[in-house]
Amino acid sequence: MMPPCRFLLALPLVAFLGVAGAAAQTAPSVSPVVVELFTSQGCSSCPASDQQLGELAKRPDVLPLSLHVDYWDYIGWKDPFASPANTERQRGYARSLKQRYVYTPEMVFGGIAHDPGYEPAKVARLLRKVLDHAGPRVMPVLTRTADKGVTIAVPETKVPAPCDVWLVTFDRQHQTKVKRGENQGALLTNYNVVRSIEKLDTWDGDAESWTVRADRLAAGEAVAVIVQQAAHGRIIGAARLDPPK
């Protein structure tokens, strides 16, 4: 197995499956573990981790997300799903997790641990680490509105400090024939491909809700919400909602 590819970017040193439709998503008893894979179609080390993320996508207790970074785009192949926002999120984790560099592939587990993510045994161990981690947890509930927007509700929860609420849209699967670069000739399959990620609000633990209009959500995309301690800290809750039918 090829080692992960490192990039010395400018870094400071310092759910279960939702039910789509107008009805509210049934709240699971445990928040899914969020696994974020920072990947690129231009990186020859990434397909094995992409495949592992696809296996995680079959599990109802995991919310796996594929965030394609843009710093590989100059090496022969421009990843159609790469975005500066994904790269900036990875840089945020590098600061929070005290990494000297960012690399691909990189799986971040619950905001508290990272690994290349191509060895199933290590993935299983880090999933367990997230589940065993002490601290507050919150269960967001997503509801599809009549105009195909989304309402996000969080119950009152005692948290030690305000948390960031992230709104994510993603496509469940894409296949791409790569014509140039390190993966030239490969037919790559990417799962739960993030199309947008934005900070929706800061939450202080009081019961609260937000409504996102349909025109902010691209047609056909699934939606997720992530509640995370500030500055890319531990993820304390998440939920997802499939595209409207």
Q: What is the pLDDT of residues 71-112, one digit of tens each?
A: 999 999 999 999 999 999 999 999 999 999 999 999 999 999
Residue 55's φ and ψ, nearest 5 degrees, are -65, -40
Give the per-residue pLDDT at 202. Answer: 98
Give the per-residue pLDDT at 80. Answer: 98
Distance of CA 215 to the CA centre of its chain: 22
Give the per-residue pLDDT at 17. Answer: 29
C-alpha dist (Å) from residue 128 to 61, 93, 110: 12, 20, 11
Query: What mean pLDDT do residues 117-146 have?
Result: 96
Q: Which residues contact 72 (CB under 8 A, 6 or more apart)?
A: 40, 41, 42, 43, 79, 82, 104, 181
Lowest mean pLDDT among 7-11, 47-51, 176-180: 7-11
Q: What mean pLDDT, rounded, does the chain reach?
A: 90
Give the per-residue pLDDT at 19. Answer: 27
Confidence of residue 29 (pLDDT cuts 50, 70, 90): low
Shortest CA distance to 45 belongs to which of 10, 81, 69?
69
- Residue 16's SS3 state is coil
Lowest mean pLDDT among 10-14, 173-177, 181-185, 227-231: 10-14
Contact 41, 188 (CB under 8 A): yes
Contact 126, 113 (CB under 8 A): yes
Considering the entire predicted model, what is its pTM? 0.89
Give the per-residue pLDDT at 14. Answer: 31
* Secondary-structure class of domain 20-241 per CATH: alpha beta
DSSP code for 149: -
Q: Which residues contact 85 (CB under 8 A, 6 or more apart)?
A: 196, 197, 198
Among the residues of 75-222, which ranges form H helices?
84-96, 120-132
Lowest mean pLDDT among 39-43, 142-146, 189-193, 241-245: 241-245
Confidence of residue 6 (pLDDT cuts 50, 70, 90): low
d(CA 72, CA 10): 15
Confidence of residue 30 (pLDDT cuts 50, 70, 90): confident
Side chain identity at 115, as an amino acid letter?
A: D
DSSP code for 121: H
Give the per-residue pLDDT at 218. Answer: 78
Lowest mean pLDDT among 25-34, 38-47, 155-164, 222-231: 25-34
How does DSSP assign 170-192, residue by residue? EEEEEEEE--SSTTTT-EEEEEE
Lowest mean pLDDT among 14-28, 104-118, 131-145, 214-228: 14-28
CA atoms within 13 A on the CB side of 8: 0
- Bridge partners of 136, per DSSP, are none
Q: Helix 120-132 to helix 47-56 angle, to the nearest 10 degrees?
A: 50
